[in-house]
Structure 1
Amino acid sequence: MMLLNSSGRDNFDFFKPNNQNQPVSSQQQISTDQSRIIQRQTHQAIRTATYNTAIHQNVTCDGCEMSPIKGDRYKCLFCPNIDFCESCKSTGKPNHNLNHPLLCIRDSSLYSSSAYISNRSQLCHDKIQCNFCHINPIIGIRYNCSCGINLCEKCEFIGTHDQNHHRTKITVPKGIN
């Protein structure tokens, strides 16, 4: 057993066998409790200070259908037009693969509208097949390699083709002006 030194006044010592936790005096316990309270308050203050109040106009959460998304927006890097709010980002949804990486967008207004293609799912590259996943037609942005290979967004993102080859990003299907 271990005895913690005591002044014999206000503090009391607790005895515990050496193979368990170290002895804790009542003063140490109060200090630990105060430390936990301060830590909790600090974390809450940080969360409050960094809470995002941005509103992402024309963006709907694919988890809870919040529209527009308020706060942080999470955009899937694999799936075209998949967005989640802060609450839905980590929950498994039947319409989305939980292993797909999500990009946190704190404020959509910081990006020019040209950075987003709002009608990706309507971009249909008729009679053009992805040379890797064989989707036909390619829906969304198409990447055409200088060697003649066509890639869908997903295959381009995961790097299925030689990264040293030059690619052209095609956002308008052939025949559309």
Structure 2
Amino acid sequence: MRKLLKWSALVLVFLVVATAGVVLYEFRTTSTFQLIVVYMDQDNPEVIRWSAEQALYAFHPDQDDVEQLSREAGARYAASLPDSEEARSVLTHLVSNGLDIDSVAEMDGSEFTALHAAVLSNDHSAVEILLNEGADPKVTDHEGRTPLDLARVISRNRPDRDFSRVIHLLEQAEGGSRRS
């Protein structure tokens, strides 16, 4: 009986290790964007989130991922992670591997940076993280608007939404300028 239990335990360990290896291999060949999505999805089991995190830091991003993320203003994905410490860590990792934090989204025609996208979402946490990681608050979109200009326009057009925290952060980043 003891021998059967020992063999059963060994088989179970082998299956767990083999499964983990398959998951890590799969995540190694998955795009950085998809890994971030898996990593940030709180509905995923912890083991899957952990595996995605390990693969993200061990194998990603590669040059193709950096180029793709730059075409999408990909810093916005990392900055919008629900946990601000995770967001800072992932963003720092991506930037240190070549991601341009001020790249503009080419695909949707908006020419928004990640900072513009964070303003659109009224996500003061993402704005703060992006600014702290070196995002330039003076980069303009296709209409010549800085993120601060965009925040002010939206604030005027949508008085039901409070943009004061985002505006304050951007004003500080631009050196305290106060335009209306």
Whose strand proportion is higher, 1 or 2? 1
Q: Report which of the two structures shows the higher radius of gyration computed on alpha carbons.
A: 1
Higher relative contact order (CA 8 A, sep 6+): 2
Q: Name the TM-score, length of structure 1 as normaliser.
A: 0.31
